[in-house]
Structure 1
Amino acid sequence: MSEAEVNRVCRAQDVPRVLRWLSEGKMREANQLGLRTSSNSTFLVSLAPNTPDAPQALLAVYKPQRGERPLWDFPDGTLCRREYAAFLVSQALGWQIVPPTVLRDGLRGFGSVQLYIVHNPEVHYFTLDERFHDQLRKMVAFDYVINNADRKGGHCIVSEDGHLWGIDHGIGFHTAPKLRTVIWDFAGEPIPEELLTDLERLYCEVESPAEPLRYALSELLSEAEINALMARLRKLLQRREYPRPGPGLNYPWPPV
């Protein structure tokens, strides 16, 4: 399958067009990705162009709801909604961590559909150098906010323009502390002021019932999960520093 240009480089200004394409493009093919031991079935699909001036199909990662493996600590059938919620939070922050994502019907029913980012699988968190530290600082704060229980090294991918993306956020937003990540480089360090400003804005948008983000999240998460999200934001804003490893499990397995 050949890919569209935005599969290689997706800029902020491309997002509205990509979201329409993900939502409206006719889905074709379904090549399964990943391992059977993962939390959900994952497929690489192509989406036919939704405009005459788009000569190539768009590649996307499709995770059907009915392919989700039951987990003891997450309600059944909610992982695809958490994928979409993670994208909405990333967009609200303006950090462009999560590739454009939608919820829609596909070849195997309702699920999440996310822009596939062309990347070198040999390049991941454990191979990154200090050039990526600023982007990683955003990712660490983001993971704490969404309570990401699965930030493996291979869930950090780099597109051709050097942008760092985070993928696989289906097991996030739990009410109990479940942060599991390989990125503890900045533990205890002050969070940069510009990131705190973004986090404060996010808190206001989640707190207010009148805000579109709050309404959208209420369609995806439980009230308790939204309250826990706000509590994590308050804690991060009060402490103004990156989280430290706590008691219990702090790292995902496998790490890559």
Structure 2
Amino acid sequence: MPAPERIPSRRMSGHRAPTTIETLDLLGRGELTVRGQVREASNAVLFCTVGYEGVSADCVYKPVAGERPLWDFPDGTLAQREVAAFELSEATGWGLVPPTVLRDGPYGEGMVQLWVEADPAAELLALVEDEEAGEGWKAVGLAQVAEDRTALLVHADTPELRRLSVLDAVINNGDRKGGHLLPAPDGRLYGIDHGVSFHVDDKLRTLLWGWAGEELTPEAVAVLDGLAERLAPGTPLAERLATLLTAAEVAAVRDRVGALRGSGRHPVPSGQWPAIPWPPV
């Protein structure tokens, strides 16, 4: 859900800041109370609170029943893909996706994700003309997909954004818009809205082309090496993904990790699919 459409939230309450495991337990077992609906979203997106044993938190609930059919994805699978993106994020150790579970709710099974309140003063991305690019900006010309030759500029070459670009390549994210980036007040960066991911065909559409063709960082190479091991058939991660994705989609994740390791570079637009989502924010 794009950040501008998000409803002002209440912060997680309780005696202390919970761990990720405790947060997942809260999201999975707590009582969901619907507080509102984001009407601008393309699918049903409900703002909720979840409470369990004296701890409560704000969260987003996206019931499968509220998903609109897509021509290129099987019906009723977006919630599972959101959870799969969280599982892959956790496997990298980067923690780029808020805690996310698949569970039953007031309107049936759906994705429930912890609310992250974005820092309204943070600005990560800007769209400007080629000639306006200044020192310190990373530019990728998009003349092949934008008639006005608008270029995408990454506002800062931060490790968090670069990590997220690698994660998007792994999950084949088809909709990385600016509003799907949530810079938290504590400095952490989160990505949301990963329902249009994990297709077996190359559908990478993102605003994060700032490192296209560049060598992967040593950190990213190490993470990809670890992912290759953790994605091997029969491993806990592979078994977990098998409950959320098709066998072909899990195999495609392995293939994308292998391709990134083989090239040692960030991917470049394929030219067979729009390189950036529209609208971009």
Q: Quick check: TM above 0.5?
A: yes
Alpha-carbon deviation of 1:16?
Answer: 0.7
Alignment of 1:1-256 (within 5 A): 2-4=10-12, 14-33=19-38, 35-36=40-41, 38=42, 40-48=43-51, 50-52=52-54, 54=55, 57-120=56-119, 123-126=122-125, 129-130=155-156, 133-209=158-234, 211-247=235-271, 248-256=273-281
Alpha-carbon deviation of 1:208?
Answer: 2.6
Alpha-carbon deviation of 1:25?
Answer: 1.1
Q: Partner of 1:22: helix, strand, or coil?
A: helix
Amino acid at match of 2:257: L
For normalisation by structure 1, the TM-score amounts to 0.90
Q: RMSD between aligned alpha carbons?
A: 1.9
Alpha-carbon deviation of 1:71?
Answer: 0.3
Amino acid at match of 1:21: L
Gaps of 5+ in 1: none
For normalisation by structure 2, the TM-score amounts to 0.82
- Distance in 1, matches of 2:121 and 2:194, equals 20
- Distance in 1, matches of 2:119 and 2:191, equals 14
Bigger radius of gyration among the two: 2
Offset from partner CA, 1:43-94 (integer Å, 9 cap, x none):
110012x234x3xx20001100000000010000000000000000000110
Aligned residues: 244
Amino acid at match of 2:236: P
- Distance in 2, matches of 1:230 and 1:177, equals 14
Answer whether contact 1:124 1:153 (CA < 8 A) is retained: no
Give the structure with the larger strand fraction. Answer: 2
- Distance in 1, matches of 2:76 and 2:35, equals 20
Alpha-carbon deviation of 1:4?
Answer: 1.1
Aligned sequence identity (%): 40
Q: Partner of 2:103: helix, strand, or coil?
A: strand
- Distance in 1, matches of 2:204 and 2:121, equals 25
Give the structure with the larger helix fraction. Answer: 1
Alpha-carbon deviation of 1:117?
Answer: 0.2
- Distance in 1, matches of 2:120 and 2:192, equals 13
- Distance in 2, matches of 1:232 and 1:243, equals 10
Amino acid at match of 1:229: V
Answer whether contact 1:28 1:46 (CA < 8 A) is retained: yes
